[in-house]
Structures are given as structure tokens and as C-alpha cells.
Amino acid sequence: MVKVLLKFSDKVTDQPITSQVIKEKGVTINILSAHVDQQGGEMLIEIPEDEAEGVIEAFRSKGVKVELRRLIEVNKEKCFDCGGCISLCPVNVITYDAEYSVVFDEEKCLGSTCALCIDACPVRAIELIT
């Protein structure tokens, strides 16, 4: 599965774009999280790997900005492994390893559509990549 972040501007929120793409391409899309209103917003989706190129193209042609990238940046210089962020993550991205170091499985992260951990870090070591 490929994870992509869709950015909707206020100009396209009145269109049923996601439904259109699903119907056109006949694919199943897994919506991990979504935060879209009339002013625009973001949606994080997962697409099957072999369909990814077509789906991304379809979203782009309808005026949606599509981004494939890491969603958070963890500053390991600042982090001192307190673990305060762990219980806030709804998708178990953050765990301890065997040495009680705090580790991030960034593949699973929901990024700016979640962001629950960001302001919980006492040394501000987690940043959203915008």
C-alpha cells in the first residue's frame, strides 16, 4: 500500500472528488484520516501499490495537491526518551525498543491529520513536515 496526503483547497471542496476517483478508477481507497471542510483540508489515504500512479494522477487532474512523503520529523538530538508521546498515538507509531529508547514507525504515522503527539513533547522534538 502507498500512503499519500491529499490537500484540498477551498476551490475544490464542493466537488465529490474522492468518490469520482474511486468510481473512475474502480479502486478501493483506505481513508486513514480526514479533516476537510468548506475552507479546504487534508486527507490521508492508502492506495494499492499497482494502482497508485493512476489514482494520484486522477486526484491531481481534479485540482487536489497530492504529496508522497514523510509526515513527521523527530529530532533525536532533543529527544531524551521520556515516552510522554507514546500514549497519545492512536495508531501505535510510537513505542519503546528493548533499551527503552522511544522509536517511531513513521510509515504508519497520520501526520498533520492527527498531530496529537506534537504539542505533548516536552522538548518539542517532534515536528510536522509541512
Shortest Cβ 16–other proteins spacing (Å): 25
Shortest CB 126 distance to other proteins, Å: 12
Nearer to other proteins, 29 or 117 (CB): 117
Q: Write out the three cell numbers for 65.
A: 495537491
Q: What are phi and psi of 80, to 5 degrees?
A: -120, 25
Taking the complex as a whole, how short is the minimal distance between the CB of residue 45 and other proteins, in angstroms? 24
Least distance between other proteins and beta carbon 19 (Å): 27
CA dist 104 and 93 (Å) reads 5
Closer to other proteins by Cβ: residue 43 or 94: 94
Strands (E) located in the chain: 2-8, 30-37, 40-47, 65-67, 72-74, 94-96, 102-104, 126-128
Kindly tell me which of 52 and 88 has the beta carbon lying closer to other proteins.
88
Residue numbers at the binding site for other proteins (CB under 8 A): 80-89, 95-96, 99-101, 116, 119-120, 122-124
- All three cell numbers of 91, joined, read 495508531
Nearest residue (CB) to other proteins, 50 versus 77 = 77
